[in-house]
């Protein structure tokens, strides 16, 4: 077969499917958007799930892509096997309710075998299919597949959780007898066993069923919209068209390996070290370019692990200083035609990688120092596997280096013990990996609903007509209860882009309804969830729509402020800041963004002031619909993973230009003012700012700080009171906070105050706990005071005692201690509080019912209480009748009643 470069393979893939009326979909970011089930985009279908589960209908039901992917679940196999990679590209073609099995197989066969495209001899292709899927088998035979090259495999069924699933058909390439020295590869292949001769190059998934928990696969219902999802590894295609043994010998990797040879002085002969480094540097480059950072959590931790793993293997081939950043240029050169944005990102990525390498080399130095200390203090010439793992886990010091150093010193270390700790860590990591790609179930009625609906911007009421009523997954003509409706025109915004939906009223001649929520159907119509207040609704009813105007306006002000906030961050902090999520409603706005550094308190103030300055400039907020290319020429910001149509809505607020379908203020002056309420990290270099707007909100961060300060002062005063009380008891309690309630409020306190409040709250709570324990201990130390007041009532001993504002838990402890010294006794405390209220505690191990005594005492004091025969407590609002209470209890004790 003719040699083909990776760029040629990409072009053939795209050209073929575009000739079949597929829309080319650019690769989504590696960082999932609005999908917390995934840590990374790990399959070609992952960014398209919203189409497969029916939440949205694509502009073109036929799509083709080559998607960047990262998988790290089996990172240890990278460099060990010929095909394991952390970063790879998945070529795919997709049909959402358009063509199905027969056309998909025709396309696959034509693309692979036609000399106009890949030109693979058909005798080199082998195919597997699901045993009961006779349609697939017969179609492969019809297009010309050799029947001896078709094999049923029971595992050929794609299913992950509930939602769309179905049989699949895998295509394999025969690499020849040189990969089959024992001539047993075909038999292994038929049994779905590992072998090297027949390698999978393409999988076609026929998504036709709806998986349901507890239902046998044979009883799954068919999907209303059947889909095609295919995946072909670009790297695998490179291997077969460049006739090489592994991914690492393809033109995707060799230029990087060549440079690594020059830098290291070692020749590449298939060493694991080279493979790990060149694989990991590709993953790191693309992840950083897509906005991720090195961190100790989430995706950032994965990148840090990849880099440190690369550096450790780099040490094996002689590197003693940063080198990974020097390979970034090679990755960019190899991939720049497919991903031209890498060119501008290169200096930024190189800087991040170099700084991270420097940090790790320092860490390695610390690890070497710690290892020398372990050797120095070892008495038996052995370092434990636990210590070796701690060196690895804490300092990133590889076991191989530990073992090598120890051998030089005549020491040894247990690899088995080290491995035990390592496996425990791996198992924990695997449990924490988000790797599900299950999809929601399709809604047939919404998928098939095609009646158009127009959303009208800029107005708060309009006349419309009911076009559909949805009930139990069907359209009905009439309804007399809460339901979902579609209208031919609407001014109700449907929740999207982080902006909440509108609420309001819909009034017709025969009904009145409250709009509770609005969402977009798969085909784009606005579906209104309504609570029917009066009458009944019929299709064709004319009606008037009235928004909750104040809610809409406040939401619009917050949405426009999100745009200005992002612009402020990019102007004042870094152009590399990217939005990773947002939320706006009528009360607040929330903006999540990626940043390589945490914002200082002064910078937060600067950002807030920048937004308020834009508000004061009375900037007109303009919107216009433009072709996507023209909008991008204007410099309009777009979400990396968002799919845009040919015409887009552009929102301009001064120099802030974004693609946005939300609703906005007319003029920034209408916003009034903008105040940041909180700032926090969400991990993986993602930060969150929450803010609010309007005349009713504080103007500066100082006003936001004040409630924190007031609460801190209150807690400190409480702590001072507790410490004074302890001092009166002749006791001293430790309190690790400086009690200074006159500390002035400053802008810099905004973040400090929130964190300090949490800390002080914890410390005061701990102080209270220790004070109560101290009072209880002191009370028990003075038990004789209470023992001396015990009286003999004949058949029973009793203690009836009035106390003044004593800790109730202390009284319980005293009662428990005293009752344990009595063969048959009764204890009763009436504890009068400073505010005039009274508490009762009773303990009994005799005929006296503690619950009844306390209930009577509580009622006579204007309160209530009770309990069991042996213990009770209660209280009242006044202590005026305590003498009568004590007289009654003494009578019970004396009379034995």
Q: CA angle, corner 340, sides to 336 and 341, nearest 5?
A: 125
Residue 325: name the closest of 255, 236, 263 by CA.
263
Position 647 confidence tier, pLDDT thresholds 50, 70, 90: confident
Q: What residues contact 543, with CB distance under 8 A and at least 6 apart?
A: 463, 464, 465, 466, 487, 506, 507, 508, 511
Position 54 confidence tier, pLDDT thresholds 50, 70, 90: confident
Q: What is the pLDDT of residues 318-350, one digit of tens each?
A: 998 999 999 999 999 999 999 999 999 999 899
Which of the residue ranges 69-83, 355-369, 467-481, 767-781 has the most confident prediction, judged by mean pLDDT? 467-481
Quote the pLDDT of residue 744.
Answer: 39
**Lookup result for tokens 């299919």:** 129
Antiparallel, parallel or unpaired: β 221-233 and 87-96: antiparallel
| Distances 291 to 351, 445, 506 between C-alpha atoms, Å | 14, 39, 44
Cβ atoms 646, 535 nearer than 8 A: no
Quote the pLDDT of residue 757.
Answer: 60
Quote the pLDDT of residue 610.
Answer: 94
How large is the C-alpha radius of gyration of the chain? 36
Q: Which residues pair with 489 in a beta bridge?
A: 454
Q: What is the pLDDT of residues 214-271, one digit of tens each?
A: 899 989 999 888 999 999 999 999 999 999 999 999 999 999 999 999 999 999 999 9
Position 646 confidence tier, pLDDT thresholds 50, 70, 90: confident
Average pLDDT over residues 481-507: 94
User: Per the structure block, which two tokens stand in for 883?
Assistant: 């003498």
**Lookup result for tokens 């309504």:** 530
DSSP percent split of the chain into helix, strand, coil, nearest 5: 40, 25, 35
Q: How many other C-beta atoms are found inside a 10 Å radius of the C-beta of residue 78?
A: 22
Quote the pLDDT of residue 559.
Answer: 96
Cβ atoms 801, 808 nearer than 8 A: no
Cβ atoms 649, 623 nearer than 8 A: yes
CA pair distance 818, 325, nearest whole angstrom: 75
Least confident among 127-141, 432-446, 504-518, 703-717: 432-446
**Lookup result for tokens 């089959």:** 180
Quote the pLDDT of residue 853.
Answer: 92
CA pair distance 131, 292, nearest whole angstrom: 43
Q: What is the pLDDT of residues 144-194, one digit of tens each?
A: 999 999 999 999 999 887 888 999 999 999 999 999 999 999 999 988 888
Least confident among 312-321, 449-458, 763-772: 763-772
Quote the pLDDT of residue 434.
Answer: 45
Residue 754: name the closest of 706, 708, 692, 803 by CA.
708
DSSP 8-state code for residue 755: H
Average pLDDT over residues 408-421: 85
CA pair distance 834, 76, nearest whole angstrom: 69
DSSP 8-state code for residue 176: -
Quote the pLDDT of residue 74.
Answer: 74
Average pLDDT over residues 562-587: 92
Position 777 confidence tier, pLDDT thresholds 50, 70, 90: low
Q: Where are the alpha helices (DSSP H) in 20-132?
A: 49-52, 101-113
Q: What is the pLDDT of residues 604-620, one digit of tens each?
A: 888 998 999 999 999 99
Quote the pLDDT of residue 834.
Answer: 81
Quote the pLDDT of residue 735.
Answer: 67
Angle between the N-to-C axes of helices 415-432 and 399-408, in degrees from 0 to 180, rounded to the nearest 10: 170
Average pLDDT over residues 583-601: 89
Position 755 confidence tier, pLDDT thresholds 50, 70, 90: low
Position 44 confidence tier, pLDDT thresholds 50, 70, 90: confident
CA pair distance 295, 291, nearest whole angstrom: 13
Which of the residue ranges 321-330, 446-455, 631-640 has the most confident prediction, judged by mean pLDDT? 321-330
Quote the pLDDT of residue 639.
Answer: 65
> Residue 374: pLDDT above 50?
yes
Residue 46: name the closest of 64, 59, 28 by CA.
28
Q: What is the pLDDT of residues 857-870, one digit of tens each?
A: 999 899 998 889 89
Position 390 confidence tier, pLDDT thresholds 50, 70, 90: confident
Position 389 confidence tier, pLDDT thresholds 50, 70, 90: confident
> Residue 121: pLDDT above 90?
yes
Position 586 confidence tier, pLDDT thresholds 50, 70, 90: very high
User: Per the structure block, which two tokens stand in for 563?
Assistant: 């745009």
Average pLDDT over residues 748-764: 58
Put simply, whether the predicted model's pTM sits higher than 0.75 gets the answer: no
Average pLDDT over residues 566-570: 95
Least confident among 27-36, 472-481, 778-787: 778-787
Whole-number average pLDDT of the chain: 87
Average pLDDT over residues 441-465: 87
Average pLDDT over residues 354-371: 83
Quote the pLDDT of residue 89.
Answer: 97
Average pLDDT over residues 78-98: 91
CA pair distance 320, 314, nearest whole angstrom: 8
> Residue 724: pLDDT above 90?
no
CA pair distance 553, 543, nearest whole angstrom: 23
Q: What residues contact 839, with CB distance under 8 A and at least 6 apart?
A: 808, 811, 829, 830, 831, 833, 873, 874, 875
Q: Which residues pair with 329 in a beta bridge?
A: none
> Residue 445: pLDDT above 60?
yes
707 or 201, which is more confident:
201
CA pair distance 693, 698, nearest whole angstrom: 9
């Amino acid at each position: 077969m003719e040699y083909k470069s990776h760029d040629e393979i990409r072009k053939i893939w795209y050209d073929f499917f575009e000739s079949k009326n597929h829309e080319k979909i650019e690769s989504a970011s590696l960082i999932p958007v609005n999908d917390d089930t995934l840590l990374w985009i790990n399959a070609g279908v992952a960014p398209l799930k919203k189409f497969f589960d029916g939440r949205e209908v694509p502009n073109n039901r036929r799509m083709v892509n080559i998607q960047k992917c990262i998988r790290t679940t089996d990172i240890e196999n990278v460099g060990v096997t010929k095909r394991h990679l952390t970063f790879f590209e998945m070529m795919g073609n997709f049909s959402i309710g358009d063509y199905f099995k027969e056309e998909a197989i025709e396309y696959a066969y034509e693309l692979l075998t036609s000399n106009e495209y890949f030109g693979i001899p058909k005798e080199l292709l082998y195919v597997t299919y699901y045993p009961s899927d006779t349609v697939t088998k017969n179609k492969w035979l019809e297009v010309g597949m050799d029947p001896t090259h078709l094999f049923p495999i029971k595992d050929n069924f794609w299913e992950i959780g509930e939602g769309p699933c179905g049989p699949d058909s895998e295509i394999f390439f025969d690499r020849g007898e040189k990969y089959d020295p024992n001539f047993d590869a075909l038999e292994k292949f038929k049994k779905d066993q590992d072998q090297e001769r027949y390698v999978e190059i393409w999988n076609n998934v026929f998504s036709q069923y709806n998986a349901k928990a507890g239902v046998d696969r044979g009883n799954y219902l068919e999907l209303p919209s059947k889909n095609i999802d295919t995946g072909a590894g670009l790297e695998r295609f490179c291997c077969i068209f460049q006739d090489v043994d592994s991914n690492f010998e393809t033109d995707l990797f060799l230029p990087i390996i060549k440079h690594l040879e020059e830098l290291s002085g070692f020749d590449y002969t298939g060493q694991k070290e080279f493979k790990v480094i060149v694989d990991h540097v590709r993953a790191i480059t693309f992840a950083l370019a897509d906005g991720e950072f090195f961190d100790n959590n989430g995706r950032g931790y994965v990148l840090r692990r990849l880099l440190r793993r690369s550096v450790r293997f780099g040490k094996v081939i002689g590197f003693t200083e940063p080198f990974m950043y020097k390979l970034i240029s090679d990755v960019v050169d190899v991939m720049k035609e497919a991903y031209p944005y890498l060119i501008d990102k290169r200096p930024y990525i190189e800087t991040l990688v170099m700084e991270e390498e420097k940090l790790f080399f320092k860490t390695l130095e610390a690890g070497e120092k710690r290892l020398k200390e372990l050797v120095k203090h070892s008495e038996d010439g052995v370092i434990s596997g636990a210590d070796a793992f701690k060196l690895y886990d804490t300092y990133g010091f590889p076991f191989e280096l530990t073992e090598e150093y120890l051998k030089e010193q005549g020491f040894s270390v247990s690899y088995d013990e080290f491995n035990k700790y390592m496996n425990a860590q791996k198992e924990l990591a695997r449990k924490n990996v988000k790797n599900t790609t299950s999809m929601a179930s399709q809604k047939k009625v919404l998928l098939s609903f095609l009646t158009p609906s127009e959303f009208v911007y800029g107005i708060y009421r309009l006349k419309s007509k009911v076009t559909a009523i949805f009930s139990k997954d069907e359209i009905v003509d009439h309804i007399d209860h809460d339901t979902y409706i579609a209208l031919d025109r609407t001014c109700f915004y449907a929740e999207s882009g982080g902006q909440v939906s509108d609420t309001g009223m819909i009034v017709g001649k025969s009904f009145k309804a409250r709009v509770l929520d609005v969402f977009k159907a798969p085909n784009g119509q606005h579906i209104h969830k309504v609570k029917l207040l009066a009458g009944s609704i019929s299709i064709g009813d004319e009606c008037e729509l009235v928004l909750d105007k104040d809610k809409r306006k406040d939401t619009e002000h917050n949405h426009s402020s999100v745009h200005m906030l992002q612009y402020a961050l990019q102007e004042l902090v870094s152009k590399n800041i990217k939005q990773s999520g947002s939320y706006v409603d009528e009360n607040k706005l929330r903006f999540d963004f990626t940043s390589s550094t945490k914002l200082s308190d002064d910078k937060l103030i600067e950002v807030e002031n920048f937004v308020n300055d834009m508000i004061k400039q009375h900037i007109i907020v303009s919107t216009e619909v433009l072709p996507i290319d023209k909008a991008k020429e204007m410099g309009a910001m777009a979400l990396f993973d968002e799919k845009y149509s040919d015409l887009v809505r552009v929102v301009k607020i001064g120099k802030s230009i974004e693609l946005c379908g939300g609703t906005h203020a007319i003029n920034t002056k209408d916003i009034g003012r903008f105040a940041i309420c909180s700032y926090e990290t969400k991990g993986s270099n993602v930060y969150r700012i929450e803010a609010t707007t309007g005349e009713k909100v504080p103007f500066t961060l100082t006003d936001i700080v004040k409630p924190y300060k007031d609460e801190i002062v209150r807690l400190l005063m409480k702590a001072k009171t507790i410490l004074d009380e302890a001092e009166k008891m002749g006791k001293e309690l430790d309190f690790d906070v400086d009690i200074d309630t006159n500390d002035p409020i400053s802008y810099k306190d905004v973040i400090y105050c929130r964190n300090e409040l949490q800390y002080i709250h914890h410390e005061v709570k701990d102080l209270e706990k220790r004070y109560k324990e101290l009072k209880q201990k002191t009370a028990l130390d003075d038990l004789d005071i209470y023992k001396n007041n015990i009286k003999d009532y004949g058949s029973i001993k009793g203690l009836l005692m009035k106390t003044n504002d004593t800790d109730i838990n202390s009284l319980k402890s005293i009662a428990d201690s005293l009752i344990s010294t009595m063969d048959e006794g009764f204890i009763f405390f009436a504890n009068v509080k400073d505010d005039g209220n009274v508490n009762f505690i009773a303990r009994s191990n005799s005929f006296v019912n503690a619950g009844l005594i306390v209930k009577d005492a509580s009622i006579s004091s204007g309160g209530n209480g009770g309990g069991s025969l042996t213990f009770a407590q209660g209280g009242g609002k006044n202590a005026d009748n305590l003498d009568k209470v004590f007289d009654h209890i003494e009578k019970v004790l004396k009379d034995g009643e």
